């Protein structure tokens, strides 16, 4: 008797495919054939895998459910940014943002439906966590993207905390960067985290992707007031771990800093940032705060942003102001949320 359609073929590693082939009595080389169909050709329907025997194609099709699904909704910004809405296998929704910029095209992917980190300035954090995504659901945002062939970079900066879903995120990264998978260079990928310390070393040891740390305030109590994660895993502990790794070659680390007027943009914040990040080769990306309903925070004007950037740069920390993209379609940093969609609104 065949198993129920409860698992997907897409997202399996070569070792898992080899075990599956052994279980089904398929030849050993069939694992490589399956991986090629799945990750080079992005075909997950076994019935279309022409170099697999008909009997095994039928058995595979009867056992595994399809997971690659097109987006259900597309919103396009005046600046060319596109926001895609995907439905997960559990019936929740996630959003991804496609950001074209000249020869560069970046996709901001989600790792969870919602988020449980509870950052006060983030719309995703307000909706709470529905569930973590499987590796296949993470990769589906890339594979099913209409502009897939134009992509140059992927950033794990969408909905969710990637290191709150480490197993599936690492699996997705493995498929993205392995020769048997998508074959991407790790330098095309950046993962953002609020600083989940128990999983941070694992990410740094098992991958070579770039790292972006959500900082937003260098003072412990002030950061804890807007980012509850600080209570469990202080940013000072994150910085101490990063000092043990080499970021002077291909891999880079950056710190994301959403600037909120009168809250985290004073000279004392600059001094503390310099102290906190001393000894780490990094850059700071300044991001304008994007207003969400009911929020008490405000974005500084352009002059204040430039002054903050220039002061940090003069103190030896490479600092840039990230351009806001897709704000008119709620696709900019901190605005992704599907709470209204989940509620049927």
Q: What is the pLDDT of residues 299-312, one digit of tens each?
A: 899 999 999 999 99
Q: What's residue 7's pLDDT?
A: 85
For helices 267-276 and 235-242, give the axis angle rounded to 10 degrees: 40
Rounded to 10 degrees, what is the CA torsion of 9, 13, 15, 16? -30
Query: Is 249 or 326 the better-scoring residue by pLDDT?
Result: 249
CB 75 within 8 A of CB 95: no
How far is Cα 84 from Cα 13, in angstroms, rounded to an integer? 27
Q: Measuring CA to CA, how many Å separate 201 from each of 38, 50, 104, 205, 206?
A: 30, 42, 30, 6, 8
What percent of the chain has a predicted confidence (pLDDT) above 90? 84
Per DSSP, the three-state class of 274 is helix
Q: What's residue 107's pLDDT?
A: 97
Q: What's residue 150's pLDDT?
A: 96
Q: Measuring CA to CA, how many Å separate 179 from each of 14, 95, 117?
A: 11, 28, 34
pLDDT at 161 over 60: yes
CB 83 within 8 A of CB 97: yes
Among residues 44, 95, 199, 256, the one annotated as catalytic is 95
Extract the runs of DSSP E, i.e. beta strands, from 66-178.
Answer: 73-76, 82-87, 93-101, 104-108, 112-114, 129-132, 153-156
Q: How many degrees, rounded to 5, is the angle at CA 282 between CA 263 and CA 280?
A: 100
**Averaged pLDDT score across all residues of the chain:** 92
Bridge partner residues of 153 (DSSP):
106
pLDDT at 201 over 60: yes
The least confident of 84-93, 128-137, 221-230, 285-294 is 285-294
Q: What's residue 255's pLDDT?
A: 98
How far is Cα 96 from Cα 213, in angstroms, rounded to an integer? 20
- Pick from 66, 71, 3: nearest CA to 38: 66
Q: Establish whether 333 is a catalytic residue.
A: yes
The least confident of 108-117, 308-317, 335-344 is 335-344
Q: What's residue 182's pLDDT?
A: 97
pLDDT tens figures, 110-142: 999 999 999 988 888 888 999 999 999 999 999
pTM: 0.92
pLDDT at 68 over 60: yes
CB 117 within 8 A of CB 194: yes
Burial class (CB in 10 A: 0-12, 13-18, 19+), 88: buried
pLDDT at 223 over 90: yes
pLDDT band at 326 (very low <50, low <70, confident <90, very high): low
Q: Establish whether 95 is a catalytic residue.
A: yes
């Amino acid at each position: 008797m065949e198993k129920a359609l409860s698992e997907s073929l897409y997202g399996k590693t070569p070792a898992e495919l080899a075990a599956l082939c052994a279980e089904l009595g398929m030849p050993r080389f069939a694992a490589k054939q399956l991986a090629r169909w799945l990750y080079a050709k992005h075909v997950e329907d076994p019935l279309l895998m022409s170099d697999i025997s008909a009997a095994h194609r039928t058995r595979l099709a009867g056992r595994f459910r399809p997971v690659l699904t097109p987006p259900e909704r597309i919103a396009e910004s005046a600046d060319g940014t596109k926001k895609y809405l995907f439905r997960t296998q559990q019936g929740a929704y996630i959003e991804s943002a496609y950001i074209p910029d000249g020869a560069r095209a970046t996709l901001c992917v989600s790792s969870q439906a919602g988020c449980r980190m509870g950052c006060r300035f983030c719309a995703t954090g307000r909706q709470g966590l529905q569930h973590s995504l499987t590796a296949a659901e993470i990769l589906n945002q890339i594979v099913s993207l209409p502009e897939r062939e134009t992509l140059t970079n992927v950033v794990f900066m969408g909905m969710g905390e990637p290191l709150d879903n480490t197993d599936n995120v690492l699996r997705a990264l493995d498929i993205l960067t392995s020769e048997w998978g998508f074959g991407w260079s790790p330098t095309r990928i950046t993962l953002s985290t609020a600083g989940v310390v128990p999983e941070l070393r694992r990410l740094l040891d098992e991958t070579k992707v770039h790292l972006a740390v959500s900082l937003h305030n260098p003072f412990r109590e002030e950061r804890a007031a807007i980012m509850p994660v600080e209570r469990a895993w202080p940013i000072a502990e994150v910085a101490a771990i990063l000092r043990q790794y080499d970021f002077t070659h291909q891999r880079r680390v950056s710190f994301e800093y959403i600037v909120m007027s009168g809250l985290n943009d004073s000279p004392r914040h600059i001094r503390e940032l310099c102290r906190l990040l001393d000894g780490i080769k990094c850059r700071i990306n300044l991001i304008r705060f994007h207003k969400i309903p009911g929020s008490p925070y405000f974005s500084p004007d352009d002059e204040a942003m430039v002054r903050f950037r220039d002061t940090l740069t003069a103190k030896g920390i490479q600092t840039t102001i990230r351009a806001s993209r897709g704000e008119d379609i709620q696709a900019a940093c901190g605005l992704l949320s599907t709470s209204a969609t989940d509620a049927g609104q």
